[in-house]
Structure 1
């Protein structure tokens, strides 16, 4: 399953693209944005595999958005302007679709992305290092149950202890595999494999009851669905 978002300021173009994506069973559309500013805010707290990105937008255009992101996912440009094609490839975009394009051209582009992802040989990490007071500590990912925000600190709750770190949520999310961990609330990240059950938007991990907020609900349950399909 390839998770993706659309960033497109033309409503008709966005609806057409959304309709195409819904026909492709290995694409999981997480969100659609009509401007780059809202998309940046989303991408700072959530990871996706692929962005369908328009170039010409107000406030923050597609080129500026790619320059602003530190860790770019796969990018498929969807633009009515051809003059940005050469420049866009400096960001290693997977394909450049010139509007208007049909479903056949889109499926060719997403198949290319799927092939690129299959050929990536970078293994997911089994551990991370975090700074705690006067030392840097190794944390085995398999030991993490959940992470909770506590004022200026994060508490990484392991199976046998808790580790306090001054990292932000966005920093720790950059280290964690997006397929195994999900932010479910402004104050919580959970390890999917530690969830016992979910009841009334409350995640049960050990003796902890963790709320799922409305702002993270759709993303979390989509990730659970994708995890179930690949598990």
Structure 2
């Protein structure tokens, strides 16, 4: 995994450099002492993992994560525990409190590597099996249109047919990669490549208008932003 360090403390920079050099699966490609320079770099280069400090002059690590869409895994490295909840709300991979040991650093990297492998595996998935009655029916993911909640059932609408299942939305979300379909409402999940029009509060798939709720709006718009 190509990685960068965003850290304004020289000693912390050197510690992270040393830790990264001990891990053969990591390659350090750049080091920045401020978030603004790092932002310019990220707009022009691809990296897999960011080691990000929080308290820096100009733009803090949290402000960086809040102000722009960071499509890379992030491990926060900080002396301030009070930002932990905010960090996980922003979907960071892990949160390291200074001073941290190499063993704790390695745990965070292992988590990032596992997440990366999971994403690669999910991206290769072309179908799932859906429980319908006493059968398992194959569902090609490229045929999925949307999933609609109907009390105890989920109605899976495809380009070919529709399937009723007792599987929950959580179970379907675990099976279907987020790059393929996403929850946009407590009662709806939609295939991203089948959306014809996006509005603030709704999406159109063919002649079907499906609502986007406040709960899922931010994650939905972040996801479609990645594919633009």
TM-score of the aligned structures, taking structure 2 as reference length: 0.59
- List aligned pairs for 1:39-188, cutoff 5 A: 50=73, 52=75, 75-83=93-101, 85-86=102-103, 89-90=106-107, 92-94=110-112, 117=116, 122=121, 123-188=123-188
- Structure of larger gyration radius: 2
Structure 1 residue runs of 5 or longer lacking an equivalent are 5-10, 29-48, 66-72, 95-112
Change (3 A) 1:121 1:191: closer
The structure-2 alpha-carbon separation of the partners of 1:128 and 1:75, relative to structure 1 and needing over 3 Å to count, comes to same
> Aligned to 1:27, which of 63, 70, 73?
70
CA 1:20–1:149: 2 relative to 1, 3 Å: same
Q: Is the 8 A contact 1:184 1:190 kept in 2?
A: yes
Q: TM-score, normalised by structure 1?
A: 0.58
Structure 1, residues 83-135: CA drift from partner, whole Å, max 9, x if none? 5x5256456134xxxxxxxxxxxxxxxxxx7xx959x8635211001111011
- In structure 2, runs of 5+ residues without a counterpart are 1-45
- CA–CA separation in structure 1 for the residues paired with 2:179 and 2:120: 16
The one of the two structures with greater contact order (alpha-carbon pairs below 8 A, sep at least 6) is 1
Question: How many residues are paired up?
Answer: 171
CA distance in structure 2 between the aligned counterparts of 1:157 and 1:138, rounded to whole angstroms: 13
Alpha carbon RMSD of aligned pairs, Å?
A: 4.2
Change (3 A) 1:87 1:78: closer
What's 2:62 paired with?
Answer: 18
